[in-house]
């Protein structure tokens, strides 16, 4: 499950999953259907009204949340999922796939924020981190109890 575009890293990943027989679900807001070039070959493409609707639908459908290396939208979505977990809106696991150390500076900042007293240990510990996809999936599975 992802944002539903046919371009960029996630579009390439979606194509690869589809080519190997996997299923891919996309969720994209109407305003971005043309701008992000909605992927028309997905197993299922949900078109929603707003960005908030996109995040809500993705959260509803997901079993867990993984942030691959990405930009500001990826970070915003990850932090919202983390916040929703802290608030008890969901109990689903979430984590960062730290490919080639991409998220290392962010992880260091999160640890700094914990040491400074702005992130409680229980919340910091809920963020699974691994540089290997299988290890991250194992960590997410273990934390979903």
Copy the structure tokens of residue 43: 């197993």
Residue pLDDT, tens place only, 27-39 = 999 999 978 689 9
Average pLDDT, the chain: 94
When pLDDT is averaged across residues 56-79 and rounded to a whole number, the result is 94
pLDDT recorded at residue 105: 98
Rg over alpha carbons for the chain, rounded to the nearest Å, is: 16
Question: Is residue 7 over pLDDT 70?
Answer: yes
Model pLDDT for residues 88-128, shown as the tens digit of each residue: 999 999 999 999 999 999 999 999 999 999 999 999 999 99
* Mean pLDDT, residues 39-57 taken together: 94
pTM: 0.89
Candidates 84, 76, 42, 29; CA nearest to 60 is: 84
What confidence score (pLDDT) does residue 145 get? 59
Q: In whole angstroms, what is the distance from residue 132 CA to residue 83 CA?
A: 24
**Domains of the chain and CATH, by start:** 1-62 (no CATH), 65-145 (3.40.50.450)
Asked if 96 contacts 106 with a C-beta cutoff of 8 angstroms, the reply is: yes
At 15 the three-state DSSP class reads helix
């Amino acid at each position: 499950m992802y944002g539903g575009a046919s371009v960029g890293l996630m579009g390439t990943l979606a194509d690869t999953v589809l080519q190997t027989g996997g299923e891919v679900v996309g969720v994209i807001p109407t305003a971005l259907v043309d701008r992000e070039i909605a992927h028309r070959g997905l197993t299922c493409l949900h078109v929603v009204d707003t960005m908030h609707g996109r995040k809500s639908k993705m959260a509803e459908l997901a079993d867990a949340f993984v942030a691959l290396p990405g930009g500001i939208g990826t970070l915003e979505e990850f932090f919202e999922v983390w916040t929703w977990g802290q608030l008890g809106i969901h109990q689903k696991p979430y984590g960062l796939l730290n490919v080639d150390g991409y998220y290392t500076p962010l992880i260091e900042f999160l640890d700094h924020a914990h040491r400074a007293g702005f992130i409680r240990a229980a919340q910091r510990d809920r963020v699974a981190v691994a540089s290997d996809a299988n290890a991250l999936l194992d960590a997410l599975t273990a934390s979903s109890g």
